[in-house]
Amino acid sequence: MDSGGNYRQSLGRLGEDMACRFLQGRGHAILERNWRSGHLEIDIISFNEEGIHFVEVKTRRKNIQAPPQENVGGIKQARIAKAAMRFLKTRKGLPFGNHECLFDIVAVTFDGKEATLEWFPQAYIPLYL
């Protein structure tokens, strides 16, 4: 088994791969994965007829304390919103500026070799100050 950091990275990558396949199966075009701007990151940016989706993926082993989606609190939501604003100001983001912006969460939980994926579309509406 990988060391702690590498194991978490591998598990996270598996969760993001699953999330991308899931979203594509629901008509989303994946625009970006692990998009970064400075210290800000968005796991998945996708687009469908509803608008542009900024997706946070939380992957965990079997729930021990709390479901993965509960780890996307107010501070994390604000960071994702700030990153989304930066993305929309880039050349790649400009064509999407007139579309609805949606903030989704995908929670992936592994229990041995089995995985459960839960999608929370429009999981939150960020507050802009």
Average pLDDT over residues 109-124: 92
Q: What is the CA radius of gyration of the chain?
A: 15
Q: Is residue 90 part of a domain?
A: yes
Nearest CA-CA partner of 32 in 46, 52, 48, 20 = 46
Q: Is residue 129 part of a domain?
A: no
Alpha helices (H) along 26-73: none
pLDDT band at 126 (very low <50, low <70, confident <90, very high): confident
Tally of structural domains, the chain: 1
Q: What is the pLDDT of residues 57-101, one digit of tens each?
A: 999 888 667 778 888 989 999 999 999 999 999 988 888 878 999
Residue 100 to residue 21: CA distance in whole angstroms = 22
Domain extent, residue 26, equals: 4-124
Q: Is residue 91 part of a domain?
A: yes
Q: Is residue 36 part of a domain?
A: yes
Q: Is residue 11 part of a domain?
A: yes
CATH number reported for the structural domain that contains residue 116 in this entry = 3.40.1350.10
Q: Is residue 17 part of a domain?
A: yes
Average pLDDT over residues 89-114: 90
Q: Is residue 38 part of a domain?
A: yes
Q: Are 104 and 121 in contact (CB under 8 A)?
A: yes
Exposure on the CB side of residue 94, measured as CA atoms within 13 A:
3
